[in-house]
Each structure stands twice: as structure tokens, then as C-alpha cells.
Chains A and B, each alone.
Chain A
Amino acid sequence: MKRNWQIMCLAFVALSIVTLLLSFQYPYHDRLGPGPGFFPFWLAIITAALAVVLFWQITFTKAAPYPENRVLPNREGGKRILAIFIGLVVCLFLLDPLGFRISLFLFLLVLPLALGVRNWVALAIFAVAGSFGVFHVFFYWLKVPLPIGILGI
């Protein structure tokens, strides 16, 4: 866990440097007072300083603020996490072209399948109710705008 905390500190230092460099694009001060660059400039400097102090604390002192548990998930857990992540990303890219109903139908059909469900009747009912059913309730009854794809569904 120590290594992961160190990486996290370095990531925040990097983020701070990027923010600091970007903050120079905006005026630090204008005729009315502090400009748009004022807040990001100081935020970046303070964040970088704190990340460096935390890195130093983890690396060079006996203080161990980090937990000792395992970071990487076990093999089975990792597969399930990956399945959900891929499912979400694919759904994200399908949402606009295919619309809510079809993309969510596929999401709700494939994801439980990937997680191990083999009961096809339950899968079909779940996918139809979760996509077409939920769309009907939110779009028509609750008047919540949802995407309709190129197929008009």
C-alpha cells in the first residue's frame, strides 16, 4: 500500500503542475482585484506542497497513514469489475446512436450474462423491463427526456 500512496502523491504533484501552468493563461490580477488565475495558482501550489509533504512522510518517516490491505482485487473479483467497466463504457458510446432503450437493453442483457446468470427467461424479462419499461415510465409518465437513437426507438 505504501507504493500506491506514493504514486497517488506523485499524481497529485503532476496534476498541480499542469494546473499551475494552465493558470498562467488567465490574469492573476485585474483592475477590480484578484483575477481568474488567482485561485488556481494558489490551489496548485498548496496541493503540490501538501502532496510533497505526504510523500516525504510516507517515504522517510515511520508514520504509516496507509492501510495494509491488498489493493488489487482477486482474479474473480477483477473479472467482474472489468465486466462492469466495459459494459458502462460500451453503453456510453451506444447511448446516443442507438438510444436509451436498445443500448440499455443490451447492457442489461449482456452484463448479468457476463456475471454468470444463465436463466434466459429471467434475463429477457429483466432486460426488457429495465430498458423499455423504465423508458416508458420516465419518458412518457415522468416526462424525463431520454435519448432516442437513429432507429427511432
Chain B
Amino acid sequence: METLQYWLQGFSVATLPINLMYSFIGCVLGTLIGVLPGLGPAAGTAILIPVTFNLDPIGAIIMLAAIYYGAMYGGTITSVLVNVPGEAASVITCLDGYQMAKQGRAGPALGIAAIGSFIGGTFATFALMVVSLPLASLALRFGPPEIFSLLLVGLSLVTGLSGRSTLAALIMTLFGLMMAMIGMDPVRGAPRFTFDLPPLYDGIGFIPVVMGLFGVGEILLSMEAPVLEILKTKLTDLFPSRSEWRVSAGAIGRGTLIGFFLGLIPGIGAVIPTFAAYVMEKKVSKHPEKFGTGVIEGVASPETANNSYANASMVPLLTLGIPGSPTLAVLMGAFIIHGLTPGPFLFKERPDVVWGLIASLYMGNIILLILNLPLVGFWAKLLEIKYEFLYPGILLFCILGAYSLNQSVFDVGVMIAFGVLGFIFRKLDWPLAPTVLALILGPMMERNLRTALEMSGGDMSIFITRPISAGLLIVAAFFLLSPGIRLLRERTGGGEKE
């Protein structure tokens, strides 16, 4: 009964005309970010935080969340029409989406992506409503050892699953934690690694780092081959044919479930659910050999999983205060800027924000469906903007966003420095997501580690004598060690064959 009251409260907030307008603006801006090459959802959301400075917290969060899931759909358009994913989660859509476009079927590809995204997103939002309150109540029982172990699970997941080398990913995580140490010591409140520079007393700004790594770094990388070849194709018949519907229905169902369950795991990122959905679809298909040649299931399943994941990944953020991806970390930063701390206490302190946001996800999904189907042609036109104007334009908003957070030129410098680092790391294929997550989770991690050790008088066994913490540590160890074990097994297997 209590849950139902919260749901109703959420809908009463989300359906206020002003919040519907914020949701609409967020969806438009998000789709734009997803469409524009060189601007992913993390950097895009970060850049647009200043737009929300003078909004009330609920409106601001609703708008930024809409930007996030809007960008997830926007990336599809470039995947299908240009064979360049607008964001990482749309990489797999290129395989069949672009082939469909080459065969003159770009319309059904984009249509099924929009419909699948709507179904996946709506289901995940409903499930989010059901699971978030019990999970938040459970999280309230967590003490510092459990929170530290949980954060370790999040970081080990993003580390174990990213990049081509787990060691490199681990180093990148530790690099993020090192950056997080700059500023005030989170337990004693004394300055640390600040070199007597006043701008460093607040630490390295997380938002300028994201803008640098994912915005400036991406633009520098794009500069090597900036001209996109857009497929000249007619965007008519957005609705798939009856036979296409038949094969897509199951793919959408499976994509929804995969996206939702993987979204519950903090740190997994948006790429894995889409790949998992694609692989699953290929496995259950009667004609797996046709995947990659333009089959509609190859678009429907990952695109559905993508948006289902985007909404489900709000669960760890809202209930535990743990962002699962760089974009969600930016969203967490936005919560903090607006004086809100995501986590179980938010459900008690500001139910209007939490439930208003959750209900707004429904509205956003409807808005995205209405927005995207008729406007696909318009979004495609945006891809024709010349890169000589597009990239300086994006950089303008990066500078504006970085400066306006603290009215600090130093933050603009941080953004540029991390832009160069992001460019180098991308060239070397060292993953960036672990650094970003470690940077935002670092202070929380250190605080809980040290508080737990204070509780135990310095005895490390506190982490393994408490059952929840021990269980979480086992999970963390599994994710960190599994790539090494797999490699060892492959090598042993290879040795036997030889």
C-alpha cells in the first residue's frame, strides 16, 4: 500500500506540465548528443549540467536523466546510417543496422530500435519501481565494511570487464583512486596532495575530468578521420513488416530481460548487455549465419537491451548510491550539485525526487517514441553538419560547462589536461571507465575502509567475519580473477593441443 502511494506521488510529480517539459527537453538534447559524433552520453550529460543550475532539483534531475536515456537511443541513428556508433552501447547495432540501411531498410531498423527501446525501457522502469524500495531498505542495514565491499564489487566489475588487459584496467582504476585522494582527507578533513594550490582543496573536479576524457579526448581522436560518409537512403516505412514483427517480438522480450538483469549489477556498463543480447539472439536463431548481413533481430535485441539497461541501472544508483557507468556517475554528480545524495536515505528524505524521477522515466519513454519515429529524418540531417563547425561548437560547450561549475579557469585546465590523457589512453586502448568510476567512488571507498578499520581497531578480519561483506568480497575476487583464470585455462588448453 505504501509503495502504491509512492508510485502515485511519483506520477503526480512527473506529470506536472513543467516536469513534462523538462523531460521533453532532456529527451531532445539527449537524442542530439547521441546523434552527434564526438559526444557520448557521459560528456554530453556533464556539459549540460549548467543548464540545470537554476532549476529546482526535481526538474534538474528529471531533465538530466532524460538526456541520459535519450542519448542511448540517439546513438542508434548514427550506427544505422553512418556505421559509426554514437555511443559505445550502439557498437553492436552497426553490424546489422548498417547492412539493413544499405539494403534500403534503414526505416524499419530505426523503427524497431525505437519500439524496442520503448518496450525495454518501460518494462525496466516498472521493475525498478517494484524492486527499489525493498533494496533501499536492505541497503540501510549496511555498515562501513559492507559498503566498502560493495564498492569494491562495483570497481572490480568495471575493471574485470573492460579493456583488453585486466592489469591495465586495474592500473586505470588505481589511477582514478589516486586522483580521488587529492583534496580534503575524507575522514579527518585535512588537506592532502594539494601543493598549497587553493583550487585543489576541493579535489579534482569530477565533471571536468569526464568532459576531458570523454568529450575533448573523443574529439581529438575523431580529428584523425573526421569526415563521415552518410548513406543516402530513403527513410520511409519506419514500421516493420508483419514478418519482421514476428521475428522481432521474441528478440525484444529477450533483450528486455537481459538489459534489465545486467543493469542491476553496478559497474557492468552499457556495452555488455547489448553484446550479450546480440549473442543470445544469434544462439537462439534458426539462421545464425545471417547475423551481420542485415537481420532485424540483430537490431531489435541489442537496442532493447540498451534502453532496458539504461533504466535498470538506476537501481544501484538510487538504492545504494553506486553509479554503474560514467554517465550515471555524472548523474550522481548532478544529484550532489543539487544538494541530494543518492542512496537509501534519499527514499526517506526526498521521496518526491526519487519517485518523481522513476515515474518520469515512463513519460520519457513515451516522449522518445513520439519524438524519434517521426523525427528520424531530422536527426539524420544533423549528421550533415560540417565537422569544422561541429567540433568547435562541442568544445565551446565543454569550456562553458567546465568553467561554470565552480567559476574556475582551473577546471577548464583540468578538462584540457584530461582530454589529452583521454586521447592517449584511447589510442593505447587503456579503458577510461574504471578511472572515472574510481574517481567518484574513491572518497566514499576510503572513508568506509578507514571507518571500518577504526571500528575493528585495525583488524582487517572485519571484512570477512561479517557475512554480507565476506560474500561481496568473494564476488569482487571472482570478477577480478576470472579473466586471469580464463587466460590460464586457454593457455593450458592450447598447450595440450600443441
A interface, CB within 8 angstroms of B: 1, 4-5, 8-9, 12, 15, 19, 22, 26, 29-30, 32-36, 38-40, 43-44, 46-47, 50-51, 53-54, 57, 63, 65-67, 71, 73-74, 77, 80-81, 84-85, 87-89, 91-92, 95-96, 100, 104, 107-108, 111-112, 115-117, 122, 126, 130-131, 134, 138, 142-147
**Which residues of chain B are within 8 angstroms of A38 by Cβ–Cβ distance?**
450
**Which residues of chain A are within 8 angstroms of B164 by Cβ–Cβ distance?**
65-67
Q: Could you give, for residues 188-205 of chain B, a 1 whenever the CB lies within 8 Å of some chain A CB and a 0 otherwise?
A: 101011000000000000
**Which residues of chain A are within 8 angstroms of B188 by Cβ–Cβ distance?**
30, 35-36
B420 with A80: CB separation less than 8 A: no
B404 with A146: CB separation less than 8 A: yes
A39 with B450: CB separation less than 8 A: yes
Residue in A34, A46, A143, A147 whose CB lies within 8 Å of B403: A147
B458 with A40: CB separation less than 8 A: no
Number of A-B contacts (CB under 8 A): 179
A34 with B223: CB separation less than 8 A: no
Residue in B54, B192, B224 whose CB lies within 8 Å of A73: B224
**Which residues of chain A are within 8 angstroms of B56 by Cβ–Cβ distance?**
none
Q: A92-B413, A112-B388 are in contact. Are A84 and B171 (CB under 8 A)?
A: no
**Which residues of chain A are within 8 angstroms of B487 by Cβ–Cβ distance?**
63
B429 with A142: CB separation less than 8 A: no
**Which residues of chain B are within 8 angstroms of A131 by Cβ–Cβ distance?**
396
B193 with A130: CB separation less than 8 A: no
A84 with B219: CB separation less than 8 A: yes
- Give B459 Cβ to nearest chain A Cβ, in Å: 10
- Give B494 Cβ to nearest chain A Cβ, in Å: 10
Interface hits, B162-190 → A, CB 8 Å: 164-165, 167-168, 170-171, 174-175, 177-178, 181, 185, 187-188, 190
Residue in A8, A66, A138 whose CB lies within 8 Å of B400: A138
Residue ID in chain B nearest A96 by CB atoms: B409
Interface hits, B458-498 → A, CB 8 Å: 458, 487
Residue in A39, A63, A81 whose CB lies within 8 Å of B446: A39
Interface of B, helix, strand, loop or mixed by DSSP:
helix
Q: A15-B178, A138-B400 are in contact. Are A5 and B53 (CB under 8 A)?
A: no
Q: When A and B form their complex, which 8 residue pairs have the shortest distance between CB atoms, in order from nearest? A: A33-B454, A65-B165, A77-B224, A80-B223, A36-B185, A115-B388, A47-B174, A54-B167
> How large, as a class, is the contact surface on chain B?
35 or more
Say yes or no: is B216 at the interface (Cβ < 8 Å to chain A): yes
B404 with A145: CB separation less than 8 A: yes
Q: List 17 A-B contacts (CB under 8 A).
A: A8-B430, A34-B458, A66-B164, A77-B223, A80-B226, A84-B220, A88-B216, A100-B400, A104-B396, A108-B393, A131-B396, A134-B396, A134-B400, A143-B54, A144-B50, A146-B403, A147-B403
**Which residues of chain B are within 8 angstroms of A81 by Cβ–Cβ distance?**
220, 223-224, 423
Say yes or no: is B41 at the interface (Cβ < 8 Å to chain A): no
Q: A77-B224, A104-B399, A138-B404 are in contact. Are A92 and B53 (CB under 8 A)?
A: no
Say yes or no: is B428 at the interface (Cβ < 8 Å to chain A): yes
- Give A95 Cβ to nearest chain B Cβ, in Å: 5
